[in-house]
Amino acid sequence: MSESHEAHHHIVPIPIYVAIFATLLVLTGVTVWVAYLDFGAMNIVIALAIAAFKASLVVLYFMHVKYASKLTQLASVLGFVWLAILLGMTSSGIFTRDWIGSDPGWAMQPLDAGAVHHDAAEGAEHGEEAEAPAEH
């Protein structure tokens, strides 16, 4: 019970709710509007930035996180941080996997076939074959 008890019953004034509500509606219009303008690759970035801003307004005011304990505030960002780990590491892996030439050494390509022949010439006894991912 070391967490602070402050501000659990903080009552947000109605005008703030109305202001957030109006802002969310306006930003929805802005989202649609900018989608029809050509910013090139930035279109998706702008769309997500607006969405993230809208989401923060909902979290901070409608969900009272602005007035909540430090622990609740931490909990409200933790999920997004972990989502960023999942998205960041996976997509960086998938988007960079073709970077080594056009011929990754571990696919069933002539390079690999050569390596297998080389092994066979040595009379290798270990059964290291090209990996089919489905069998791991």
Q: Indicate the Cα dihedral angle 17, 20, 21, 24, nearest 10°.
A: -160
- Whichever of 99 and 121 has its CB closer to other proteins, that residue is 99
**Residues sharing a CB contact under 8 Å with residue 60, sequence separation 6 or more, in sequence order:** 66
Q: Do residues 55 and 20 lie in contact, with contact meaning Cβ atoms separated by under 8 Å? A: no
Among 15, 120, 122, 136, binds other proteins (CB under 8 A): 136
Q: In 10 A of CB 72, how many CB atoms?
A: 15
Among 6, 70, 82, 103, binds other proteins (CB under 8 A): 82
43 counts as binding other proteins under rule CB under 8 A: yes
Site map for other proteins, 62-81, x if CB under 8 A?
xx----xx-xx--xx-xxx-
DSSP letter at 134 equals: G
Residues in 90-109 at the binding interface with other proteins, rule: CB under 8 A: 90-97, 99-100, 104, 106-107
- Whichever of 97 and 121 has its CB closer to other proteins, that residue is 97
Residues in 106-135 at the binding interface with other proteins, rule: CB under 8 A: 106-107, 125-128, 131, 133-135
Task: Give the CA distances from residue 48 to residues 34, 44, 51, 57, in Å, rounded to whole numbers and listed in that order.
Answer: 12, 6, 5, 14
To other proteins, the closest distance from the beta carbon of 48 in angstroms equals 7
Residues in 5-34 at the binding interface with other proteins, rule: CB under 8 A: 5, 8-9, 11-12, 14, 17-18, 20-21, 24-25, 28, 31-32
Q: In 10 A of CB 115, how many CB atoms?
A: 14
